[in-house]
Structure 1
């Protein structure tokens, strides 16, 4: 599945903080402790998503938005119902 994310780098801790936008344009807002320098925030997001969805980091791929706060990740092996249950915790 793909997951639209709105990154908030430079936060005190990495965590899901809510939803950014509405409807089809909604993105999962994630605060990221790492700064947006040299890809560190992207790496932190990959690690966080892998842990959050209980999949290996190699199953998380940034497919769009490398230099933007708005990003799209491909989560291999994750189904929508499972993702919703993990996010709702």
Structure 2
């Protein structure tokens, strides 16, 4: 696993929800878990859902699950997002 991705496999359970704060156009892709808040940094621009797709892929990799198991519930156009693990 990449050094910029924390091991979040302990959070994997059906129905789990993940609140994230996203920073698009970052210098590198990474996830920072600090103070109970997940901050996700992605290098892509927030256009046509590209940043959301990058966040979903990064979160799935960190959780060790298929990205198809993650559903964006809230925050399609916001920096604050809520994903659910199916």
TM value normalised by structure 2: 0.75
Out of 17, 20, 23, the residue aligned to residue 32 of structure 2 is 17
Aligned pair count?
71
Q: Structure 1: any 5+ residue segments left out of the alignment?
A: 77-89
**Residue 17 (structure 2) pairs with residue 2 (structure 1):** yes
Out of 57, 64, 67, the residue aligned to residue 47 of structure 1 is 57
Q: Structure 2: any 5+ residue segments left out of the alignment?
A: 1-15
For residue 13 of structure 1, report the CA deviation from its aligned partner: 1.1
Query: Structure 1 stretches (4+) deviating beyond 6 angstroms?
Result: none
For residue 34 of structure 1, report the CA deviation from its aligned partner: 1.0
Q: Which has the higher helix share?
A: 1
For residue 12 of structure 1, report the CA deviation from its aligned partner: 1.3
RMSD: 1.4
For residue 56 of structure 1, report the CA deviation from its aligned partner: 0.6
TM value normalised by structure 1: 0.73
In 1: Cα distance, 2:61 partner to 2:32 partner: 16
